[in-house]
Amino acid sequence: MNAPLKPPRADVEIVTLGCRLNAYESESMRALASEAALSNAVIVNTCAVTNEAVRQARQTIRRARRERPDAEIIVTGCAAQIDPQSFAAMPEVSRIIGNAEKMRAESFGGDHARVSVSDIMSVRETASHLIDGFSERTRAYVQIQNGCDHRCTFCIIPYGRGNSRSATVGDVVEQIRRLAANGVPEVVLTGVDLTSWGGDLPGQPQLGSLVARILKLVPDLPMLRLSSLDAIEMDDQLFELVTQHERVAPYLHLSLQHGDDIILKRMKRRHSRAQAIGLCQRLKDARPETALGADLIAGFPTETDRHFANLLSIVDECGLAYVHAFPFSPRQGTPAARMPQVDRRVVKQRAAKLREAGAAALERHLRAWVGREATALVEREGFARLPDFTPVQLPFSLAEKGPGDEGRSDKQDPDHWHAPHPLPPLRKGEGGAHIRLRFTAHDGQHLIGVAA
């Protein structure tokens, strides 16, 4: 692992789009760019998971050029890796660097070709960098794995990230130790295909063994979270830890994608509907307070009304609290883009119904919390989350402002009031505060919490 990196320059802005792995890499790039003495620049870290994500990347680049007309605009991330020439055709773009190049300081300094993107499939190691903290002080993301060896028919990401490769236990533990020592209250393990961690390491350890080592070797870390997991790859030790260990967050986000066996096969997923439902039931039986979320895609090619009905019903049968609903987006170069497509109007209608099912599931989850108490982690003024990731709106302001916060406003919504026991002040550089709350109501999207 590299030596600790320098702090970022104020005139270098990084715009992060997409996944938690991008968030981790953006924090690394802040320091790498500083090490290279990069100045007056905007780095756009793009996402390519859907056509909409690529559209948003282009929109972000154009806005950056308008807002910073004299700055160097550097584009990187999965969209830039997959289709560098289309971004090179944008007059707003100064340089394009690939996903491997963005993790090297030399890519941000000196004279380079306008397009510097290597073959991501040739990358065999995960670049690790020590990070002392995150701009979002309440939660830090630690990359344990990158790339994916699977080839789901709808997914373009392996062509942006390459094949699966793992960070070593020592690198991961050292990174988390540094974060915990700096007061970070939560760490999220992140990667492209998290449960494939270890497959390329000596002895092929499984993810559960890594989680066990982190919990043992970093006892000062209050909470460990896992990002999206493949439902078919949860090893026995991992299941035991996520259902029994109090320092593992009672929240899992599962990569389910659909609820019909035929569509799952056409997606080239490796689990069945019954296996997904069975895992969710086992998780809830073993740890009832566990909240579950899932990615689900509506309107996949050949999807019939019956297939879609099975997709809708899995929301309830899996007991999901959170649904990340996607309308199917055909990505050029994927097998699914060559399959018979569902009419776009039908795709949008089905996605809307899926979002409605997700909203109803969240409402049920929130309603079950009303009248109860729990400890929440404050993420920012007026907002906190529970260990199961439930969002909480705090209808009172912070007691005082920290240094450098002069621009922040304490104006309250007319329906909000000051709690008799206000939150501890949050200052820049500190971890988020924990506070005991009682939940009096919900608004369909958040719990309403008052100091208990």
| Residue 36, pLDDT score | 86
pLDDT tens, position by position, 440-449: 999 999 999 9
Banded model confidence at residue 9, pLDDT cuts 50, 70, 90? low
CA torsion sign for 283, 289, 290, 295 is positive
- Mind spelling out the 3-state secondary structure of 250-268? CEEEEEEECCCHHHHHHHC
Instruction: Give the CA radius of gyration of the chain.
Output: 22
Hey, what are 304's tokens?
């019939």
Give the pairing type, strands 373-380 and 383-385: antiparallel
Give the CA-trace dihedral at 274, 277, 279, 280, to 10 degrees.
180
The pTM of the full predicted model, rounded to 2 decimals, is: 0.81
Listing DSSP states for 57-83 in one string gives HHHHHHHHHHH-TTSEEEEEEHHHHH-
pLDDT tens, position by position, 93-146: 999 998 888 888 888 887 778 888 887 777 666 555 545 444 455 788 899 998
Residue 25 has pLDDT above 70, yes or no: yes
| Residue 197, pLDDT score | 94
Banded model confidence at residue 405, pLDDT cuts 50, 70, 90? very low
Give 223's strand partners. Answer: 186
pLDDT tens, position by position, 241-269: 999 999 999 999 999 999 999 999 999 99
| Residue 411, pLDDT score | 33
| Cβ contacts of 253 within 8 Å, gap of 6 or more | 226, 227, 228, 229, 292, 293, 294, 295, 322, 324
Q: Locate tokens 């389910």: which residue?
A: 256
Mean pLDDT of the chain: 86
Q: Locate tokens 């593992």: which residue?
A: 248
Hey, what are 308's tokens?
């879609």
Residue 375 has pLDDT above 90, yes or no: yes
Long-range interactions of 57-62: CB distance < 8 A, separation 24+: 57/17, 58/87, 58/90, 60/15, 60/17, 61/87, 61/90, 61/92, 61/93, 62/90, 62/92
| Residue 32, pLDDT score | 86
| 344-367: average pLDDT | 97
pLDDT tens, position by position, 131-186: 544 445 578 889 999 889 999 999 988 888 888 999 999 999 999 999 999 888 99
